[in-house]
Amino acid sequence: MITADDLITKVLEYNPHSDTDLIRRAYAYGMAAHEGQFRKSGEPYFTHPVEVAMLLTEVMLDDATIVTALLHDTIEDTPATYAEVSEQFSPEIAQLVDGVTKLTNLELSSVETKQAENFRKLLMAMSKDLRVLLVKLADRLHNMRTIRSMTKEKQRHKARETIEIYAPLAGRMGMQFIRDELEDLSFRVLNPEARNSIMRRFINLSKENDDLIPRITEDIRVALFNSGVEARVTGREKRPYSIWRKMEEKNEPFNRLSDIYAFRITTDSVKDAYIALGAVHQRWNAVPGRFKDYISQPKSNGYRSIHTTVSGRSAKRVEIQIRTQEMHQVAESGVAAHWSYRDGARAENPFAVDPFHWLRSLAERFEASENPDEFLEHVKLEMFQDQVFCFTPKGEVIKLPRGASPIDFAYAIHTRIGDSCVGAKVNGQRVPLWTKLRNGQSVEIIRAEGQRPQSSWEDMVVTGRAKSAIRRYMRDEHRDAHIRLGREIARVSLGRVGKKPTDKALETAAKLFTLVSGEALLAEIGAAQISGSELVQTLYPELVKSGVSAGPGPDEDRVIGLQPNQSAAPAPCCMPVPGERIVGIAMPGRGVLIHAIDCPILEKFEGNDRRWVDLRWTPDSSLAFNETKIEVAMANDAGVLGRICTLVGEHRSNIVNISFTARKPDFYRIRLDIMVRDIEHLTNVETALNADSDVAEVIRFRDTSLCELADNDGGK
Collapsed DSSP state (helix, strand, coil) of residue 18? coil
Rounded-to-integer distance, Cα 284 and Cα 658, Å: 61
Q: Which of 116, 110, 117 is nearest to 156 (CA)?
A: 110
- Catalytic one among 19, 43, 58, 76? 76
Strand stretches in 215-260, DSSP E: 231-237
Collapsed DSSP state (helix, strand, coil) of residue 490? helix
- Catalytic one among 19, 58, 77, 458? 77
Please name the helix (run of DSSP H) or strand (run of DSSP E) that holds residue 306, with its range, or none: strand 306-311
**Cβ atoms of residues 627 and 674 within 8 Å:** yes
Rounded-to-integer distance, Cα 234 and Cα 224, Å: 13
Rounded-to-integer distance, Cα 436 and Cα 234, Å: 35
**Cβ atoms of residues 70 and 27 within 8 Å:** yes
The bridge status of strand 626-635 relative to strand 667-676 is antiparallel
Radius of gyration of the chain (CA): 32
Rounded-to-integer distance, Cα 490 and Cα 495, Å: 8
Rounded-to-integer distance, Cα 419 and Cα 47, Å: 56
Residue 239 is given by DSSP the state P
Number of Cβ within a 10 Å radius of residue 172: 19
Rounded-to-integer distance, Cα 67 and Cα 29, Å: 10
Collapsed DSSP state (helix, strand, coil) of residue 692? coil
Collapsed DSSP state (helix, strand, coil) of residue 581? coil
**Cβ atoms of residues 165 and 118 within 8 Å:** no
Please give the full DSSP string across 533-576, using - where no structure is assigned.
Answer: HHHHHHH-HHHHHHT---SSS-GGGSEE-PPTT--EEE-TTT--
Number of Cβ within a 10 Å radius of residue 120: 19
Q: Which of 187, 174, 104, 112 is nearest to 144 (CA)?
A: 187
Whether 77 is a known active-site residue: answer yes
Q: Which of 163, 131, 130, 127 is nearest to 147 (CA)?
A: 163
> Which active-site residues does the annotation give?
76-77
